[in-house]
Amino acid sequence: MADDKNLPLPESNLVFGEGNPDCDVLFIGEAPGFNEDKEKRPFVGRAGQLLRAGIRELGWREQDVYITNIVKRRPPENRDPNEEEIASYKPYLAKQIEIINPKIIVPLGRFSMNYFLPLAKITRDQGKLFKVKEYFILPMLHPAAALRGTGAMKMFKETFAKLPNALLKVNSDNFEEAKSEEPTTKKPKLEDVQAKLF
Ligand code: URA
C-alpha cells in the first residue's frame, strides 16, 4: 500500500490496522483522524479509547482482535471519506478481510456498515447480526457517535455486550438461527440487495 501511488490522500500517513491477524472479531471504522494519522495507529483518539475500553470490558485483549478502517489515510479536516476514496482502498480491505477471515466483522458507523450492507440504516440495523456471503456482520454505532449523547452511548454499550453471544452463535453450527435476525419487516430484504463486495 505504501508503494501504491494511485491511492488517494497521499499527504496523510498510512494507518494500516493492528491486532491479531488470526482473530475472530474484526472491527472496521471509517478513516483515521488526527491522532491516528499522527501515531499511524487506528482508533487511538477519544473514540478509539471508548472502543478499546469496550473490548477490555468483555474480558478480551485489544491484541486478540483486529482493528482497521475502510479508508487507510486521513481525509483533510476529518471530512467523510468519499466514494472514490472508499473504492480505491477497497481491494486492500478486501484482501485484509480475506487473510484475517474473521468469524464476525463489526463495522463501526454507517460508512463502514454500508460497505457491507448498502441499504442498511445505522440506527435501525445496528446490533443485528447479518450474513453477507461467508461473513457474519454485526454493525455498531461509531464510538464517536456514542460520545455525542447518552442514548447513543447506551445503544453502543448494549450492542457491544452482545458480541460474546454473537460469537457463540456463529461458532455453533446453527447458522440459521443467526440468519433469522435479518430484518423481515422492510422490503426489499437486505439479503436480496447485498453488494458483491469480496
Ligand atoms: N474514527 C475512525 O473511523 N477510525 C479511526 O481509526 C479513528 C476514528
The enclosing H or E element of 104 equals strand 104-107
| pTM to 2 decimal places | 0.89
Q: What one-character DSSP code corresponds to residue 79? A: P
Q: How far is the CA of 35 from the centre of ligand 1 (A)?
A: 9
Which tens digits make up the pLDDT trace of 1-57? 999 999 999 999 999 999 999 999 999 999 999 999 999 999 999 999 999 999 999
Fill in the amino acid letter for 102. P
Q: Report the separation in Å between the CA atom of 156 and the middle of ligand 1, taken as the mean of its atom positions.
A: 15
Quick: pLDDT tens for 53-85: 999 999 999 999 999 999 999 999 999 999 999
Centroid of ligand 1 to alpha carbon of 6 (angstroms): 22
Ligand 1 centroid vs 1 CA: distance in angstroms? 19
Q: Classify domain 18-172 at the CATH topology level.
A: Uracil-DNA Glycosylase, subunit E (3.40.470)
**Residue 184, pLDDT above cutoff 70:** no
Q: Quick: pLDDT tens for 39-48.
A: 999 999 999 9
Q: Which atom of ligand 1 is nearest to the CA of 15?
A: 6
Ligand 1 pocket mutation, candidates 36, 38, 70, 73, criterion most atoms within 8 A of CB: 36
Pocket of ligand 1 (CB under 6 A): 29-33, 36, 42-43, 45, 47-48, 69, 144
So where are the chain's domains?
Answer: 18-172
**68 Rama sector, left if φ>0, alpha if ψ -120 to 50, beta otherwise:** beta
